[in-house]
């Protein structure tokens, strides 16, 4: 069954959907540079969401991943087990080479583990063939990437609805309008990626990830290509998609400020989870990273 988290949120759509970025539908003037100053990015009060935190959306059991074999084999994951909690934002942190991307790719069904199992929305995905995995990803997963990965020949709105088009679904106009307003792109709908700033392109990518109301959204270094102010804006949008839409999210990041918006922070080192923290500020996150580097 396709999870339609947002349908359980009657508050959405009443006015301006309590704009995801908390500043209404007004967009900044077009710019190919940085986003205009929005001031401190205020995270609006959460909208009530039905029954968040009700069990794992993704479960991994004793995952291992070995690249290559013989003398040159690399054990990128060496026994990772975790449950991703519904309606929460989980950050995965760790030094370069600790296995973050490998873990995310396996949780998202983009790569198969060498050992262990992954269950996504109640389906055991390890061992599914490519066709079945593609269908499952379409139904359940939204992605945000560091380099946005938008199609240059499509405008912002076309990029946002692309996952629905690919799935052969007719976009729900009211929902698409609401979403575009909530990510602050109402006046940028017909702009192509090359006519948008980096922050605006990442907003498009967030819209594309959310448009199918995925069971889970994976974000791979979503602020890795943005300046710090634009990063804060994108992080506020992501946080608000969790608070407002109950959007379960897993974010891989190097950035302590990004991890500080998470409900839970998993630290990987050498292919194992070495720390599992609740909400923490950037200073605490940096402290753990320093400790792990010793």
Residues that bind ligand ADP (CB under 6 A): 67-68, 74, 76, 94, 96-102
Q: How far is the CB of 17 from ligand ADP (least distance, A)?
A: 34
Encoded tokens for 162: 């692309």
> Could you give the CA distance from residue 164 to residue 168 in angstroms, rounded to a whole number?
6
Encoded tokens for 39: 């001031």
CA-nearest of 174, 227, 217, 237 to 20 is 237
Task: Give Cα 270 distance to the centre of its chain.
Answer: 23
Helices (H), 78-172: 100-107, 130-140, 156-166
251 - beta bridge partners? 91, 219
> Could you give the CA distance from residue 92 to residue 73 in angstroms, rounded to a whole number?
24
Q: How far is the CB of 85 from ligand ADP (least distance, A)?
A: 22
CA-nearest of 267, 262, 243 to 11 is 243
Q: Which is nearer to ligand ADP, 99 or 199 (CB)?
A: 99
Q: Which is nearer to ligand ADP, 94 or 214 (CB)?
A: 94
Q: Which is nearer to ligand ADP, 86 or 100 (CB)?
A: 100
Q: How far is the CB of 106 from ligand ADP (least distance, A)?
A: 10
Q: Which is nearer to ligand ADP, 34 or 66 (CB)?
A: 66
Q: What is the 3-state secondary structure (H, E, C) of 33-57?
A: CCCCCCCCCCCCCCCCCCCCCCCEE
Q: Which is nearer to ligand ADP, 90 or 102 (CB)?
A: 102
Q: Which is nearer to ligand ADP, 103 or 160 (CB)?
A: 103
């Amino acid at each position: 069954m396709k999870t339609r988290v947002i349908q359980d949120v009657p508050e959405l759509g009443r006015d301006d959907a309590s704009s995801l970025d908390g500043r209404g539908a007004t967009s900044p003037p077009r710019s190919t540079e940085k986003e205009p100053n929005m001031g401190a990015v205020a995270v609006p009060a959460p909208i009530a969401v039905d029954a968040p935190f009700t069990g794992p959306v993704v479960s991994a059991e004793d995952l291992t991943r070995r690249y290559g074999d013989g003398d040159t084999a690399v054990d990128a994951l060496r026994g990772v087990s975790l449950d991703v909690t519904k309606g929460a934002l989980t950050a995965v942190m760790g030094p370069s080479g600790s296995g973050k991307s490998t873990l995310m790719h396996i949780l998202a069904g983009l790569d198969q583990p060498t050992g262990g199992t992954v269950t996504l929305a109640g389906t055991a995905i390890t061992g599914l063939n490519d066709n079945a995995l593609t269908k499952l990803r379409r139904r359940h997963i939204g992605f945000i990437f560091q380099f946005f990965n938008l199609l240059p020949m499509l405008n912002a709105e076309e990029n946002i609805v692309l996952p629905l088009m690919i799935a052969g679904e007719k976009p729900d106009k009211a929902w698409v309008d609401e979403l575009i307003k909530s990510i602050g792109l109402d006046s940028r709908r017909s702009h192509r990626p090359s006519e948008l700033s980096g922050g605006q392109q990442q907003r498009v990518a967030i819209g594309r990830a959310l448009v199918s109301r995925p069971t889970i959204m994976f974000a791979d270094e979503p602020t890795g290509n943005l300046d710090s102010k634009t990063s804060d804006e994108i992080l506020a949008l992501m946080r608000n998609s969790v608070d407002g839409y109950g959007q379960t999210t897993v974010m891989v990041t190097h950035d302590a400020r990004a991890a500080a918006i998470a409900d839970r922070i998993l630290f990987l080192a050498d292919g194992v989870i070495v720390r599992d923290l609740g909400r923490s500020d950037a200073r605490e996150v940096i402290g753990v990273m320093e400790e792990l580097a010793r």
